[in-house]
Amino acid sequence: MRQQVQEFFDLPLQEKKRWAQKPGSLEGYGQAFVTSEEQKLEWNDMIFLKTLPLQDRSLNFWPENPQEFRKTLESYSEDMRNAAVSIVRFITMGLGLEAQKFGDTYKEGMYQIRMNCYPPCPEPERVIGLNPHADISGITLLLECGDMPGLQVLKDEHWVNVEPVNGAMVVNLGHVMEIISNGNYKAPDHRAVVNNSKQRLSIVTFCYPNSSVDIGPAEKLIKPGSPPVYKTLTNAEYFHSFNNRKLEDSFIDSLKI
């Protein structure tokens, strides 16, 4: 997959635009190369695709160049689903929950992939690769495509570099898992920074449970002295809340009881 992503972003701009985002759609190829005197704006090149379930796919956004891109993405998507099921089982096992049950909700879950290219920037201090945020997924799997660091996590009010490890993936918890854990686990704030010397590529997979599953604190974690911290929402209510949130407010805080 790394090779296919590299080859795609190496294509001429006009060729990549064959799979460009449509107005009002997140899917497809897009760019954000803008600077401003007032604030740091994002500096990146990306393509965002829905991969699973099959009926969610919009193949008109899936590049046919490089030639093996679609075939490779098909296989990669299945690998990420299998990894997500296993990882969720271990996470919920650590909470004393039914690991098999929670892992199985990701077998028919929703998977979205964002492939990022952060080119060198002549003035990296004036831009940001990706603004600080926490993911709204269950878990997020990030694969670096090289040895150039750029991912940072907020720890103790300081931004800390996450150094790439060859052959390893970064696993981020998202707000869905934070809610299920009743706040025992937190979705970390993170961001991407750029440099003035070398391109950075990454492949990010956002993993969600089956859309029929309600999103709320696990019943086993609710007991005397440990009341529910978050509301229980249907899948549709969860995404409606996110899409209609006030940008200046914390999304996860808006879901607290």
pLDDT at 147 over 60: yes
Residue 100 pLDDT: 96
Degrees, nearest 5: CA angle 203-131-79: 20
117's tokens: 């290219």
- Residue whose tokens read 């919009």: 58
Domain extents in the chain: 2-254
Cα 125 to Cα 40: distance, rounded to the nearest angstrom: 8
pTM of the model: 0.94
Residue carrying structure tokens 């686990």: 185
If pLDDT is split at 50, 70 and 90, which confidence band does 38 have?
A: low
The answer to whether the CB of 64 falls within 8 A of the CB of 70 is yes
* Homologous superfamily in CATH for domain 2-254: B-lactam Antibiotic, Isopenicillin N Synthase; Chain (2.60.120.330)
Q: At 254, is the pLDDT very low, low, confident or very high (cuts 50, 70, 90)?
A: very high
User: Kindly report the CA angle at 253 between 26 and 86, in degrees rounded to 5?
Assistant: 65
SS3 35: coil
What average pLDDT does the segment 31-59 reach?
Answer: 84
- What span, in angstroms and rounded, lies between the C-alpha atoms of 206 and 181? 18
Query: Token pair for residue 149?
Result: 């660091």
41-52 and 127-128 beta bridge pairing: parallel
CB atoms within 10 A of CB 229: 18
pLDDT band at 39 (very low <50, low <70, confident <90, very high): low
Q: Are 233 and 241 in contact (CB under 8 A)?
A: yes
Q: Which residues contact 257 (CB under 8 A, 6 or more apart)?
A: 227, 228, 229, 230, 231
Mean pLDDT of 172-185: 98
Nearest to 30 by CA among 41, 40, 43, 17: 17
Query: In angstroms, how far is CA 149 from the centroid of its own chain?
Result: 17
